[in-house]
Amino acid sequence: MEKEKKILYSGMQATGTLHLGNYLGALKNWVALSEEYDCIYGIMDLHSLTVRQDPTAFRQNARRFYTLYVAAGLDPEKNIVYYQSHVSAHAELAWILNCFTYMGELGRMTQYKDKSQKHADNVNAGLFTYPVLMAADILLYQADAVPVGADQKQHVEICRDIAQRFNGIYGDVFTIPEPFIAKAGAKVMSLAEPEKKMSKSDENPNATIFALDDKDTILRKFKRAVTDSETDVRFDPENKPGVSNLMTIYSCVTGKDMESISSEFSGKGYGDFKIAVGEAVADHLAPIQKRYDELTKEKAYIESCIKTNDEKAAYLANKTLRKVQKKVGLTERIR
């Protein structure tokens, strides 16, 4: 991969099932970004181990995520789409970077505090050092840009701090990445509690739209979406979070702006609006679902994509890792 274009790196954890927030907030934007950047996208299965996983379900979910990446339009010949755990340089660089990261920095991470409360029975060292592995993910590929939600920006900031600290000692080893935050669709909220993000682990089955939900399920969930006691479709996230969330979703899948959406549903009430959003989402997901079904039958093709892309990722990652190992004084391997 020649560095004619800038390099963009991102990934998703391989747990649960891809939902509408993942798709509209990240994956849909990734497809568009592949024209502008050399893109590297990981199935972040090592990160998923901070929470106990059922091994069989975990493997199945990781394969499903890979297939959905491709079904959604991430061309594995144009982008590098790979499994994090298949490139051992991630774990190797993470250990070295641990030695350049301070306890106080990690202790201030908001996600660590939140997850420690949520999984109080399993506050493990991996949860604490999670941002260092994330830094290794990004820095291995000399990424210029990292598309993240606003809640993940802190992880890119600590990555930058670690990289600048290392470069300050050893010279320009790492590219200093910039966070790339999409202007629209960056944050899709729960249909049941629009004050919080849509989540694959939400206990309320009506809160989350999954990428593989059928049309009837999608329409049912949108009909039950929480709105408010008014009747006007107006974008006002502070006072009308439920309606504003539905407008954001509708805008993402139709391309219409908020003013047009308000005009379209003027005087119609929430019932018609919810059905229209559900129909638009189902129609938008239908070709992805069709392609996903086709790809699940093309096992040899998906496996060849995995093998080729793992090799491409490993080549790039190992180039950086060898440079880092040499800089810190580790004995070179005899090849």
> So what's the pLDDT on residue 150?
67
Within-domain flag for 306: yes
Catalytic annotation, residues: 115, 197, 200
Tell me the helix, strand and coil percentages in the chain, rounded to 5. Answer: 55, 10, 35
Tell me, yes or no, whether 281 and 305 share the same domain. no
Residue 280's identity, in one-letter code, is A
The tokens for 188 are 């899709």
pLDDT in 10s for each residue of the chain, 335 residues: 445 799 999 998 888 788 999 899 888 888 888 888 999 999 999 999 988 899 999 999 999 999 999 999 999 999 999 999 999 999 999 999 999 999 999 988 887 777 777 777 778 888 899 999 999 999 999 999 998 766 678 889 999 999 999 999 999 999 999 998 766 545 899 999 999 999 888 889 999 999 999 999 999 999 999 999 998 999 999 999 999 999 999 999 999 999 999 999 998 989 999 999 999 999 999 999 999 999 999 999 999 999 999 999 999 999 999 999 999 999 988 87
Within-domain flag for 272: yes
Tell me, yes or no, whether 136 and 280 share the same domain. no
What is the DSSP pairing of strand 38-44 with strand 7-13?
A: parallel
> So what's the pLDDT on residue 14?
81
> So what's the pLDDT on residue 183?
60
End-to-end alpha-carbon separation of the chain, Å? 24
Tell me, yes or no, whether 18 and 85 share the same domain. yes
Residue 30's identity, in one-letter code, is W
Tell me, yes or no, whether 135 and 242 share the same domain. no
How many structural domains does the chain have? 2
Within-domain flag for 198: no
Tell me, yes or no, whether 21 and 143 share the same domain. yes
- By residue range, what is the domain housing residue 260? 215-294
Within-domain flag for 15: yes
Tell me, yes or no, whether 173 and 219 share the same domain. no
Within-domain flag for 2: no
Tell me, yes or no, whether 231 and 323 share the same domain. no
> So what's the pLDDT on residue 16?
76
> So what's the pLDDT on residue 285?
97
Residue 259's identity, in one-letter code, is E
Q: Are 285 and 218 in contact (CB under 8 A)?
A: yes
Within-domain flag for 191: no
Nearest partner of 21 among 220, 264, 250, 199, judged by Cα:
199
Q: How many CA atoms lie within 13 A of 86 on its CB side?
A: 17
Please report, for the domain that includes residue 30, its CATH number.
Answer: 3.40.50.620
Tell me, yes or no, whether 179 and 237 share the same domain. no
